[in-house]
Chain A
Amino acid sequence: MYPIELKQVTKSFKNASGEGDLLILNSIDLCLLPGKSTAIIGKSGTGKSTLLQIAGGLDAPTSGTVLCNETDLGSLSDSKKSLIRNRNMGFVFQNNMLLEDFTALENVMIPAMIGGSSKKQCADRALQLLDKLGLSDRLDHLPGQLSGGEKQRVAICRALMNNPDVVFADEPTGSLDEENAREVENMLFDIVSSEKRTLLLVTHNIDFANRCDMVYRLRNRTLTLEKS
């Protein structure tokens, strides 16, 4: 059983002119192995983020199947899909997308609150994660009061809050300077491996990708295995 499995996934968009379809992904097959990290690399505009979002149930494929622990996401209602996202998946985006009205601690607690956990349970787990990523002194800071690297570390904690099976990271260091990017990279790999989570990383940074167990390149709408 794979935490995430894509079978013959195709994605196309309507052309801006409204005539014809623009094919982005063509018959993609991909399995994420439990506890392993997988990177998808490729040039900008090749559809890496689209592939990640389809795998994470944030977008629907035009055809093909996405399975999460053998459950077909395409057959689920919005609420059931949301439940799977909440329990089994965690997301880190290039733009950290933290809630600006909430402190670092509250931002991390939100996925557990959505899942209905008690405030104490949420706070305990969030404090533990924030402590691991060196943010114990930033608990009550609003995102506006944090640096780019700190924000991304909070986003990583948030992604891991509900102990998801898979963490999806879409260019998590894309908006950071080199030093911060390296720090966030290290922290992401450390915490994912210490918590034994599956990671799907999308990046155009080859060095970053090569730290993963498997690397795929997305080119001409198809995936090619580059490292295993």
Chain B
Amino acid sequence: MSFRFKVSSRYSFSKIRGQRTAAVMITLGIAAGIIAMIMVSSIMNGLQGAQIDRLRNLESYDIVIDNSSLSPSQLEDIKGVDKAFSYGETSVLITDRTSSRSVSVRLRAFSPDTLQYPRLKNNLVFAGRLSSNGLALSTPIISNLRFLKGDNIEITFLRQGKKTAVVPYTADMEVSTAYASTLRSFSDTTALTDLDTFIEIMGNKDIHTGIYCSSSVSKTAALIKQADPGAVVMQWPEYNKTIYSALMLEKAMVYVFLSFIFLIICVNLKNSTGRLIDSRKQEGAMLRALGATRKDINFIFMAQGIILCLAGEAIGAILGLLAVRNIQKILVAVDAVAHTSISSFPFEAYISTGETCGILTGVLLIAILFTYLGCRRTYKTEIMEVIFNVSD
């Protein structure tokens, strides 16, 4: 071991003049910061994962394509595409003629063969048959508005006008069946109709192509884009970008908040390093008198800070990952103390190896920077200033 490592490792947890307390405080401060970052990041990942799963259920297609020059059957030839289908979607107002009560629903239009696709067929139960020009309403809408099968109802669309952007258009449609679904994408406020009827009323404006993927969504999207460069290919995060951006912003803000906490720890690290160095000035000067270079002395003090940081990171990473593995037990304990019900929220906290390494590397780099700032004064000190002070 070189003398530089020997001296810096000996200095790191020295018992002299209460330095061990300072070193332990620095180490624990860094460990606490790492634990906080790992735990918060894992919880955020878990909560966001649960949230995204729910939202994905509301908008269940893996990919949505607009302006495609390829037909659904051509798209199905692309690797990774399990099912491609045209569908229409718009918001409409359904009015009960007798009571004049209205309800806003999302009208979705499929061709009959699309509804035979297993992922839809197995999750949609119709009370009858969805006829042409007919409307399938969810059972809650049927019961709330007291519709009966065969009722003619007024349905108001907003479609493109000749002079204005949109104009209301009212049509009569027949309630041909009721349906129920376990899919959140066919929620209570969704009505279904035949694709041809939809196109007849709305034209092709609100017609999109939906894709269900059998393998990686992003890879499949890239292949579609390659096959049809003019198409607008949107994955889930893109066509739900508002909510997705909000989730990402939320995560970013938590990181900013944690960074502030860590910044405070680092300022503390800088000051503590400065104090440790001040108390070692004489020894640093003596080492220089014995032949150590200015670089050697700086290395010793920098290495001391890095050793403390690495020790803090190791402790923080182990405890943080242990805490993540036992997050439910911790939340149950928090609930018991704070009388909250956080633990009842279903989510699984997780953190990827990459994210953990990112946190540890980031913290190490920041700690090195602040240790350097704390050490900077040693660059400026002349040997004799210190030896004079001692002699005097």
Contact = CB atoms under 8 A, between A and B. Distances in A.
Interface of A: 49, 53, 56, 58-59, 78-79, 82-83, 85-87, 91, 93-95, 97, 99-102, 110-111, 113-115, 144, 158, 162, 170-171
B346 interface: no
Contact of A114 (B14, B292, B294): B292
Contacts, number: 82
A91 B391 CA distance: 14
23 contacts: A56-B289, A58-B289, A78-B293, A82-B292, A82-B294, A82-B296, A85-B289, A85-B290, A86-B290, A86-B292, A87-B291, A91-B289, A93-B391, A97-B387, A99-B283, A101-B10, A101-B14, A101-B15, A110-B3, A111-B291, A113-B3, A114-B291, A170-B391
A73 to B, nearest CB: 13
B172 to A, nearest CB: 92
A13 to B, nearest CB: 10
Given A97-B286, A100-B283, A102-B10, 10 more contacts: A82-B292, A83-B291, A85-B289, A94-B391, A95-B391, A99-B286, A101-B15, A110-B3, A114-B290, A144-B16
Interface of B: 2-3, 6-7, 10-11, 14-17, 282-283, 285-296, 382-384, 387-388, 390-391
The 3 tightest CB contacts between A and B, nearest first, are A86-B291, A113-B3, A97-B286
A110 to B, nearest CB: 6
B319 to A, nearest CB: 28
A115 B2 CA distance: 10
Contact of A93 (B7, B382, B390): B390
B301 to A, nearest CB: 14
B6 A97 contact: no
A78 B14 CA distance: 29
Contacts of B282: 95, 97
A79 to B, nearest CB: 5
Contacts of B290: 85-86, 91, 110-111, 114, 158
Nearest to B16: A100
Contact of A58 (B10, B11, B293, B384): B384
A43 to B, nearest CB: 15
Contacts of B294: 78, 82
Nearest to A94: B391
A87 B292 CA distance: 11
Contacts of A82: 288, 291-294, 296
B291 A115 contact: yes
A94 B2 CA distance: 29
A58 B390 contact: no
B287 A114 contact: yes
A171 B391 CA distance: 10
Contacts of A91: 289-290
Contacts of A99: 7, 283, 286-287
Contacts of B10: 101-102
Contacts of A87: 291
B391 to A, nearest CB: 6
B304 to A, nearest CB: 11
Contacts of B387: 53, 58, 93, 97
Contact of B390 (A78, A85, A95, A102): A95
B251 to A, nearest CB: 45
Contacts of A78: 293-294
A82 B285 CA distance: 12
Contacts of A113: 2-3, 6
B384 A53 contact: yes
B3 to A, nearest CB: 4
Contacts of A95: 282, 390-391
B15 to A, nearest CB: 8
A143 B159 CA distance: 91
A94 B388 CA distance: 11
Contacts of A101: 10-11, 14-16
A101 B20 CA distance: 12
Contacts of B295: 79
B291 A97 contact: no
Nearest to B19: A101
Which of B289, B293, B382, B384 has the most chain A CB atoms inside 10 A of its CB?
Answer: B289
Nearest to B6: A113
Contacts of B384: 53, 58-59
